[in-house]
Amino acid sequence: DWTSDVFIDATIDELKEKIGEDKVVMGLSGGVDSSVAATLIHRAIGDNLTCVFVDNGLLRKNEYEEVLDSYKHLGLNVIGVDAKQRFYDALAGKSDPEEKRKAIGNTFIEVFDDEAHKIQGVKWLGQGTIYPDVIESVSVNGPSATIKSHHNVGGLPDFMKLKVVEPLNTLFKDGVREVGRALQIPENIIGRHPFPGPGLAIRILGDITPEKVAILQEVDHIFIQGLKDDKLYDEVWQAGAILLPVQSVGVMGDERTYEQVVALRAVTSVDGMTADWVHLPYEFLGKISNEIINKVKGVNRVVYDISSKPPATIEWE
């Protein structure tokens, strides 16, 4: 019978055996998988594991600080890298969704490679790969696909030459969450909605500027905090806001306004391959819409996305 405690003990033994006195480097995303994988590796080899958490300037409001803090509380040896400007520079003027993804993927590789270089004698790359990622090896998600398509000519970045250790590659998401809870990883990490690697960049349709990121962070924060306050967060598989490249006419006092439109999206899903829009209560949507329009400067209209996947996708880009 599978229990998380048996899995944890066996995995820690295996990791000790496999890695020995070697050093491991690992990128953390703030998500469940990489956090649980890192915690397991840390239990096995302690501070021979160095974790890297990159602020790409495309995270949710306060997420970088909060997640870094959680990692430190878990005792992980984690280096936080503020690379916001590098990502904004790489994204400047790019509007095509795939070009944006490539720019982000390549910048992540450069930043991570710089950090990995600073660790003397590192031999292993830790990864939070889970079983569905293994079977779905044609997945377009995650940085690995980008790495493969962009670095098979002219040599791989140095960290890609490392041996790979993936302690969760036999588990499904539920198993990962169970293991994470048994490892006492805080619920704000374990119960977290999935969040795409390119972050808010694919929720800002068109080109990215720090100003647009700041607007979307405020909108997203109101929506997500509202879901949590009204105990709806756990009913939803993934939620977020999209900043549309559209202005609409509004009125405020005696003034005519001409400002941005945002769309809210909340879906239920099992694996992200198909999804249904969530029938959030009208009262909730009304409250959130008011709060966004009243508090976020530059936004005068909120719409709710009622498309399912297929034929729509979860993200808009």
CB 171 within 8 A of CB 179: yes
Answer for which of 113, 114, 207, 315 binds ligand XMP (CB under 6 A) is 315
Cα distances from 197 to residues 101, 142, 186, 300, in angstroms, run: 9, 6, 21, 29
Measured CA to CA, the distance from residue 128 to residue 169 in angstroms comes to 8
Ligand-binding site membership of 33 (annotated): yes
Q: Which helix (H) or strand (E) holds 257?
A: strand 255-268
309 binds ligand XMP (CB under 6 A): yes
| Pairing of β 122-126 and β 23-28 | parallel
Answer for which of 67, 165, 263, 314 binds ligand XMP (CB under 6 A) is 314
313 binds ligand XMP (CB under 6 A): yes
126 binds ligand XMP (CB under 6 A): no
User: Which positions from 215 through 244 interact with ligand XMP, judged by CB under 6 A?
Assistant: 238
Answer for which of 80, 128, 180, 197 binds ligand XMP (CB under 6 A) is 197
How far the first Cα of the chain sits from its last, in Å, is: 42
Whether the bond into 310 is cis, omega within 30 of 0: yes
**Shortest distance in whole angstroms from residue 272 CB to ligand XMP:** 4
Ligand-binding site membership of 30 (annotated): yes
Ligand-binding site membership of 219 (annotated): no
**Shortest distance in whole angstroms from residue 313 CB to ligand XMP:** 3
Among 53, 289, 96, 310, smallest CA distance to 202 is for 96
- Among 36-44, 76-84, 226-234, 306-314, which window interacts with ligand XMP (CB under 6 A)? 306-314
Q: Output 180 or 198, the one with its CB closest to ligand XMP.
A: 198
Answer for which of 4, 77, 141, 169 binds ligand XMP (CB under 6 A) is 141
- Among 107-115, 125-133, 179-187, 195-203, which window interacts with ligand XMP (CB under 6 A)? 195-203
**Which alpha helices (H) appear in 125-209, and where do they start and end?**
131-135, 143-151, 173-182, 187-190
The Cβ of residue 233 has, within 10 Å, a number of other Cβ atoms equal to 17
Q: Output 173 or 309, the one with its CB closest to ligand XMP.
A: 309
27 binds ligand XMP (CB under 6 A): no
* Site size toward ligand XMP, by CB under 6 A: 13
**Shortest distance in whole angstroms from residue 169 CB to ligand XMP:** 17
DSSP class of 121: T
142 binds ligand XMP (CB under 6 A): yes
DSSP class of 187: H
Cα distances from 106 to residues 148, 162, 315, in angstroms, run: 11, 18, 21
Measured CA to CA, the distance from residue 40 to residue 8 in angstroms comes to 7
Kindly list the residues in this chain that would bind ligand XMP in the complex (CB under 6 A): 101, 141-142, 194, 196-198, 238, 272, 309, 313-315
- Binding-site annotation: residue ranges for ATP: 29-35
